[in-house]
Structure 1
Amino acid sequence: MARRGGSISTMALGLALATATPDQVRTVLGERLHPLVQNLEPAAAARVTGMLLELDRTEVLHLLESPEALKSRVAEAMEVLISAACTPLGTAVGTGKARRGGSTSRRPISMRTLLRSALANATPDQERTILGERLYPLVEKLEPAAAAKVTGMLLELGRTEILHLLESPVALTSMVAQAIGVLRNSAQQRQDQTGGAKSRSIGHHCH
């Protein structure tokens, strides 16, 4: 009976959210989800809750109703947080079953979800730092000598495009090549201007 009551409660919540704005939905679900996550992972409750709120509304409602599903998702989110520093962006960190090659119908929480969660409340400077820390090592592998300059150029792009570059090696390679082309053209122009100035100076002395 308790389970049925929980289902009715969740159903009522779903109906109440039907007319809510996206911000209201996130707030309401977050208020219900956070204390449950806090019981499982007190130290990382805020970050894990933020990650889980990136899931579909239907799945979040399911997590509120199913302690087992919530426990599994929280464990998965913790794996992502722990491995964030060493896992390439775009690589999903799934459950043990998924890593062993078994089939699973659940979508793993991706590094993109983690990064979006981290950027959600970041200031412009913090956002630039977070994205730069992710982007620089990838650029460095392609153009070690100009990694800092190229990364700075790419950080001028919009957040969505930068996230795409972090996930797509092909797009990143293409954009880095374009940036290198711009740098080389700029260097060539400066060299031509310097050469022209020297020529004019020599011509002046000859007269």
Structure 2
Amino acid sequence: MEVDVERVGEELYSRIYNQHKDNAGKLTGMLLELPSAVLVQLLQDEAMLTAAVDKAYKALQESTDEPSKNRLTTAEDVSTSSDSLGEQLFELVDLYNTGYSQKITGMLLEQKKYVVLNLLSDPKLLEKQVNQALETLKRESEADLNDSLDVDDPHDFGERLFSLVQQINQDHANELTGMLLEMDRAALHQLLCDHTLLEAAVKKALSALGTNSIEKVT
């Protein structure tokens, strides 16, 4: 993620100067050592910026005893005040309506905090990682299904399909399942692996079922 360091530095300096006139330059320089994504987050989150400046100022005060404390090198140094990191990420992931928001959020949170912060400030990177996680989950789901499903047993297919269709439309589960079972085996397998596709197929079958019912009545 490209960040105009000079512009960010000027913005940070102007905000820090009000509280720490004598040390504004040093504190700004310390914060500019942080990853670009964190710098962007600091400018957007006043509470996080305050926490980062306080931490940097404390490190500066103790620098005579332990100079290494002058450096803030990781996102953990400034993000500990944000307990809602997971909640923020979940809200963004949920916008993609994958049906796996909780699982994908958990997968993304397993990364280092600076990476997670980068995801919060970089929509393109977030979308890329959400899609990657979704593909992983789908492959795992399909593998589990292959392990548990006898592809040569139509009855096994029928039972599994009926249980899923019943969750979507309980009133017409029998008729809808019967209609879907007329599809070829590969298409059925795809429906069992992808809940979104199954919902679309059920909706289409339900529409056809309603048309057929009307024709019978007339």
TM class by shorter-chain length?
A: 0.3 to 0.5
Larger CA Rg, structure 1 vs 2: 2
TM-score between the two structures when normalised by the length of structure 2: 0.38
